[in-house]
């Protein structure tokens, strides 16, 4: 509105009054910034696909960390684990068998045979001595003495053979065989641990304490691998998201404490700015003018104090009070 200098004093006065009235009617910026509560959910999934066999929680349940949540059908995994456990036992038994000698009964048989051979050797030695005395008296020929000596040497060889056999029966398997057996035990143990881990993956427990916000599957339904079965909301994962006009962005900084209100929350919530967007939103793709800059807003996130987080729910509208100049 323009008032000509040449206008009469009364006209100029009316013009000034009208200007003051327009200024008085110009809208004041609102005292709060509008926003809403947001939840950073923890989605719990099973890395394996399978039929959901049981569900231990329901929506809105509060669970502690480590509490059981759900279990997939695991008959095939359990059978594979049992088979691997049996293979490990067999490998361990084979290793134990190779690390010791033959059975005690088998060694007893060899000892008995050795005793018989020793007796036969003693008899053969006495027979040689007798034949030599008879030869000296002229009652036997030299050939008979040679036959007795041959039987004595055969008896001695038999004693040596059975003595060696007893020593071998008391020895464990060769080093290479034992090393191969130990490798088989290690491989069977690794396979068992892998299958036990696979079986554990069919049972899921709460990774954090929180509230079950939503359940996406029901018992009997097939769950694809990696598909979340439910969503948890830890108390510390609730934050506020509000929008600050471009002209007021300079009054916001990280770590700043603000007050927020919501319907039914009672006393104001104390929140602390945790994130300021680096890019404006709701901006038309044209060159900025003074009028268009007023439409620029920046998203700001703030986290409530732990005691106030329980009063908020994701999606709930909130109003964040503008900070008073000079407040930290």
**What confidence tens digit (pLDDT) does each residue in 159-184 have?**
898 888 888 777 776 778 888 888 98
Lowest mean pLDDT among 193-197, 279-283, 284-288: 284-288
CATH topology identical between 29-40+234-321 and 87-193: no
Averaged pLDDT for residues 79-102: 86
> What is the residue-averaged pLDDT of the chain?
83
pLDDT given for residue 267 in this prediction: 87
Averaged pLDDT for residues 134-160: 88
Residue 109 scores a pLDDT above 60: yes
Is the pLDDT higher at 147 or at 13? 147
User: What is the C-alpha separation between 110 and 112, in angstroms, rounded?
Assistant: 5
H-type alpha helices, the chain = 9-25, 75-98, 104-137, 142-170, 175-200, 290-293, 306-309
Q: At residue 244, what are phi and psi to the nearest 5 degrees?
A: -110, 130
- CATH no. for 87-193: 1.10.287.470
pLDDT given for residue 177 in this prediction: 80
- CATH no. for 29-40+234-321: 2.40.30.170
User: What is the C-alpha separation between 312 and 265, in angstroms, rounded?
Assistant: 8
Residue 21 scores a pLDDT above 60: no
Q: Which of 69, 44, 43, 75 is nearest to 55 (CA)?
A: 69
pLDDT given for residue 216 in this prediction: 96
pLDDT given for residue 5 in this prediction: 43
Banded pLDDT at 234 (limits 50, 70, 90): very high
pLDDT digits (tens, 9 = 90+) for 240-252: 999 888 888 888 8
User: What is the C-alpha separation between 217 and 221, in angstroms, rounded?
Assistant: 6
Contacts of 124 (CB under 8 A, 6+ apart): 148, 151, 152, 154, 155, 156
pLDDT given for residue 11 in this prediction: 45
The sheet with strand 222-223 has its strands ordered as 203-205, 68-72, 50-55, 222-223
Averaged pLDDT for residues 213-233: 95
Residue 72 scores a pLDDT above 90: yes
Residue 34 scores a pLDDT above 70: yes
Task: Enumerate the domain spans of the chain.
Answer: 29-40+234-321, 87-193
């Amino acid at each position: 509105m323009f008032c000509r200098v040449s206008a009469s004093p009364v006209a100029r006065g009316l013009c000034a009054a009208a200007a003051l009235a327009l200024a008085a009617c110009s809208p004041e910026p609102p005292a709060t910034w509008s926003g809403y509560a947001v939840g950073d959910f923890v989605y719990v999934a099973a890395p394996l696909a399978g039929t959901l066999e049981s569900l231990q929680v329901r929506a809105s349940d509060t669970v502690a960390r480590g509490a059981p949540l759900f279990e997939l059908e695991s008959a095939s995994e359990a059978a594979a684990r049992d088979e691997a456990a049996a293979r490990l036992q067999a490998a361990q038994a084979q290793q134990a068998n190779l690390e010791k000698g033959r059975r005690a009964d088998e060694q007893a048989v060899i000892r008995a045979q050795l005793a018989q051979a020793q007796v036969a050797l003693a008899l053969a030695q006495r027979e040689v001595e007798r034949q030599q005395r008879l030869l000296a008296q002229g009652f036997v020929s030299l050939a008979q003495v040679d036959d007795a000596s041959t039987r004595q040497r055969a008896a001695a060889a038999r004693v040596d053979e059975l003595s060696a056999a007893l020593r071998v029966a008391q020895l464990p398997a060769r080093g290479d065989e034992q090393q191969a057996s130990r490798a088989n035990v290690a491989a069977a143990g690794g396979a068992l641990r892998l299958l036990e881990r696979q079986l554990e993956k069919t049972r899921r427990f709460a990774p954090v304490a929180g509230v079950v916000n939503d359940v996406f599957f029901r018992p009997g339904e097939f769950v694809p691998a990696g598909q979340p079965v439910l969503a948890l909301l830890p108390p510390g994962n609730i934050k506020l998201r509000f929008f600050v006009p471009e002209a007021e962005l300079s009054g916001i900084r990280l770590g700043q404490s603000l007050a927020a209100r919501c319907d039914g929350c009672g006393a104001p919530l104390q929140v602390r700015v945790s994130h300021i967007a680096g890019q404006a939103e709701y901006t038309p793709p044209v060159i900025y003018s003074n009028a268009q800059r007023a439409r620029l807003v920046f998203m700001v996130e703030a986290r409530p104090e732990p005691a106030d987080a329980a009063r908020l729910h994701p999606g709930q509208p909130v109003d964040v009070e503008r900070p008073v100049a000079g407040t930290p």
